[in-house]
Structure 1
Amino acid sequence: MASQAKGGARVALVAHDRLKPAMTVWVARHRATLTTCEVVATATTGSMVQRECPDVAVCTVLSGPLGGDQQIGALIAEGRIDALIFFVDPLTPMPHDVDVKALLRVALVHDVACAFSERSADFLVAGGALASRRS
């Protein structure tokens, strides 16, 4: 993830296929906050967000099933992510479920703020968790 001169949090965005449209709507709703953040996203989620919200700068990694979840996990382990917004589809089996579990585990191990639904992500924004970097 390229270093950007922004004071906001470093935020990772991931969404399972069925929830990608909801992620783009969520980003649009919180664009004022997210334009101050460093945002990284898995490839498809990131491209959808960039298309709908071109004013939100998004650095993309690979698609989740192709290693993007692991790339974001590595950024978390390196201390380069402050918050993970991951819209998980709990009703659809994922062939790369092991990667998803590894990402969640590393986020918990490194005490990264996490949201797994629109409502919990709204709480992160409302609570100011995305306003500044974690020290």
Structure 2
Amino acid sequence: MNIALIAHDKKKEDIIRFAKKFHSILSKHQLFATGTTGMRIADEAELKVTRFQSGPLGGDQQIGAKIASEEMHMVVFFRDPLTAQPHEPDISALLRLCDVHQIPVATNQAMAEIMIQALDHEDFDWKGIIEMNR
């Protein structure tokens, strides 16, 4: 499964802890991330990550393109809801694409943990859910 990992600046420490905590699950999948987030996950959580541009420089749009072409299957996006983001339209577009294409998306750690733990259960048929809604 292709999983995108994204985090705003004030949430980067959280996503690193998340990646370390779920290393054994995440290591079984293809990981993608925006710029600095991807570099830090690779370095600090010791996971293989394909990196895109940073979010404000087009990384969110690059992940959105993967979603639109059905090449991304899950998005974990630790957003900072208390800080204005200069690329908010790109973020909104990314989340809209997840909704349009029935891509599971977590925007906080609680939901991300639920999704990753569900992914680890062999009886969780996320593809069947997606196909049922098309």
Give the alignment's TM-score, normalised by structure 2.
0.89
The CA distance in 2 between the partners of 1:130 and 1:83, in whole Å, is 15
The CA deviation string for residues 33-56 of structure 1, in whole angstroms up to 9 with x for no partner, is: 0000000000110011011022x1
Q: Determine the structure 1 residue equivalent to 2:127.
A: 134
Match of 2:87 among 93, 96, 107: 96
Structure 2: gaps spanning 5 or more residues: 129-134
Superposed CA RMSD: 1.7
The aligned amino acid for 1:22 is D
Q: Determine the structure 2 residue equivalent to 1:43.
A: 35
The CA distance in 1 between the partners of 2:13 and 2:73, in whole Å, is 23
Quick one: higher RCO (CA 8 Å, sep 6+), 1 or 2?
1
Match of 1:121 among 112, 117, 127: 112
Identity across matched positions, percent? 36
The CA distance in 1 between the partners of 2:116 and 2:82, in whole Å, is 26
Cα deviation, residue 128, structure 1: 2.0
The alignment status of 1:77 with 2:65, answered yes or no, reads no
| Residue 110 to residue 16, structure 1, CA distance change in 2 (3 Å) | same
- Size of the alignment, in residue pairs? 126
Q: Determine the structure 1 residue equivalent to 2:5.
A: 13
Q: Determine the structure 2 residue equivalent to 1:29.
A: 21
Considering fraction of residues, name the structure with more helix. 2
Structure 1: gaps spanning 5 or more residues: 1-8
